[in-house]
Structure 1
Amino acid sequence: MSASSVVMLPYALASVAAARQRLSAELLAGGMTVGTVDDVVLVMSELLSNSLRHAHPLPSGQLKVAWICSDDQVEVSVSDGGAATEPRAARPTLSSLGGRGLGIVEYIADRWGVRHEDESTTVWAVVQASWPARNGEPRTTGTPALREVG
């Protein structure tokens, strides 16, 4: 499977659910294993939630969510208008109410990072893709290679 999508979303909490539904539907329709879909959707949700919590919208007043699927990986990204601080994984205490989003992304994703463009900041993550094998057992392909998301 090779597919990609770019979705412009309102700068609003309801956008997280809308993005989750669209991404999940596309990946499942493409035949990806449910476990991989769950991981990719969780990563995208954390990136989008962090953007809404810590960053400004793009000049259009929206956020851009994108994903690219290949045979061995899915890259998801969220672009916003940037924030006063650089996105980084925190190390919250057990009693902390927040601060776990990028730690979750770091745990699930093979890699993640931040790109700065003219008026936007993009946080991206790459998750290894798993597809059902012909005998019904999950098949995971080779080492993912980084691909830029426009």
Structure 2
Amino acid sequence: MAKEPAKKTEEAGKSRIKMIIIIVASVVLLIGVGIGAYLFFSSDDKSLTPEQEQALLERQAKEIGPMVNIESFIVNILDQGEVRYLKAAITLEADTPETAAEITQRMPQIKDAILLLIGNKTFAELSDLQGRLQLRAELLNRVNSLLLVGKVKRIYFTDFVVQ
């Protein structure tokens, strides 16, 4: 008969251990479900697919930024035997209004950079489309190197006469 109470306490001990394991497993499961629900419901609905992101970038690229005009100027260009001139006017498209303000503030530096760059070009370089596109790319790089706030998105030649 002494063995029976020992069995009951042993079974009660095993039963308690099982109950503790079940409780701990339930708590861990509830914590996992809670974390999963939090992550699921707190995720941004603003996440875009790659196609949507590309469309957004294209739309932003097509939007016109603030414009800053550089009035017409005349520059001597290099040519063998003849004196050649370039008369041009340029419009700079900024990415933000703050950039446009900085362009206006730095206009003497920008004009100087433009005049020095164009003054080292030859008539042959500026007389064809490829040369003008190359000049536009060089001007864009040169002007953007002077800016601290933003950048110039595009450069437009609003007047361009080589003589």
Which structure has more helix as a fraction of its residues? 2
TM-score (norm. length: structure 1):
0.29
Which structure has more strand as a fraction of its residues? 1
- Bigger Rg, structure 1 or 2: 2
